[in-house]
Amino acid sequence: MTANATNLAALHCQALEGQPPMPAAQIDTHLAAAPGWALVDGAIQKRYDFADYHRTMAFVNAVAWVAHVEDHHPDLLVSYNRCTVRFNTHSVGGISINDFICAAKLDALQP
C-alpha cells in the first residue's frame, strides 16, 4: 500500500542504514502521486517558482527547517525567483521513502 502525499507529510524520516534503495516501480508510484517531482540523475527533483527573491529565500529557510527537523538534507539550487530541490538518500545509495516524506512536507508549504 502506498501512502498519498497527505499521509507522507504526516510521517517522519527514519534511519535507513543498510537498507536497499526503493525499487523503480515503487518510485514511479510515488512520483505519480507527487505533482511536479521527477526522477533526475538518481534523485527526485522539483523546481518551485516564486514572484521575487524575498519569497524564494523564505521558502529556502522553510526547507532548511524541514531538513533540520527530519535530519534529511536536500541539494538546493537557488536563483532569484526559483529554487530547485533534489532529494536522494546516501545511506541507501538511491531513493528512499524519506525523500518522498520530505517532498510531501515541502509541497505542503505551498499555498
Query: The pTM is what?
Result: 0.92
Is the model's pLDDT at 3 over the cut of 70?
A: no
Is the model's pLDDT at 83 over the cut of 80?
A: yes
Q: Which three cell numbers stand for residue 106?
A: 515541502
| Cα–Cα distance measured from residue 15 to residue 6, given in angstroms and rounded to the nearest whole number | 21
- pLDDT bracket for residue 110 (50, 70, 90): confident
Tens digit of pLDDT for each residue in 42-80?
A: 999 999 999 999 999 999 999 999 999 999 999 999 999
The class of domain 40-111 in CATH terms is alpha beta
| Cα–Cα distance measured from residue 56 to residue 78, given in angstroms and rounded to the nearest whole number | 8
Is the model's pLDDT at 6 over the cut of 90?
A: no
